[in-house]
Amino acid sequence: MIDIKSNLERLEDSASSFYKRGQNDGASSALSSGDALQIASDLRGAIGDIQNLRDYVWQLEKTATAAANESQGIASALLAAILPDLDRRIDEHVKTALKHTIQTDALEARIETLEGFKDDLEPDDISGLESYIDDRIDSNSDSDRDDETRDTVRDMIRDGDIVVTVDLA
């Protein structure tokens, strides 16, 4: 609310005083009776304008507060409507990121293992590579893996369907 610094009661008293001066034609005054009546009329007009502006500002503030409350309610309702979907999407993104991180970590570990093995491998030690792969398959038995798949891959390596080439350069 705006702060009105004018004292409306004092202005009204002054307007009344000027009006009385204008009514007393015989009183000696520096102001003519017409000027005093005009000043009284102007003061009362200013008082009315100030009161109207004060009431208008009060109404605007009341309307603005109601609109802000309504906007807050609408925003809360919209948030409540989209929050479950937003939570689900965030969960999906986090799960995807974690999955990629786990897969990347596993791949890095495998690459490090192969790099270490490559450094130890002699050029004529291809049979050592086959036995190394067999040992890795046997040592990494994971409950999620199917034994038949492991056996099939092992047979394919032995039969030459899968060829492993190691570049020692």
pLDDT in tens, 111-134: 777 766 666 666 556 666 667 776
Q: Tell me the mean pLDDT in the region 49-78.
A: 90
pLDDT attached to residue 102: 81
Yes or no: say if 75 and 67 are a contact pair by the CB < 8 Å rule. Answer: no
Residue 64: pLDDT band by 50, 70, 90 thresholds? Answer: very high
Among 20-34, 40-54, 69-83, 113-127, name the one with the lowest average pLDDT: 113-127
Six-digit token pair at 61?
């503030």
- The answer to whether the predicted template modeling score (pTM) of the entire model surpasses 0.75 is no
Yes or no: say if 56 and 70 are a contact pair by the CB < 8 Å rule. Answer: no
The mean pLDDT of the chain is 78
Among 5-9, 112-116, 124-128, 147-151, name the one with the lowest average pLDDT: 124-128
CA dihedral 96, 100, 106, 107 (to 10 degrees): 150
More confident residue, 95 or 144: 95
- Tell me which residue has tokens 């990494």: 140
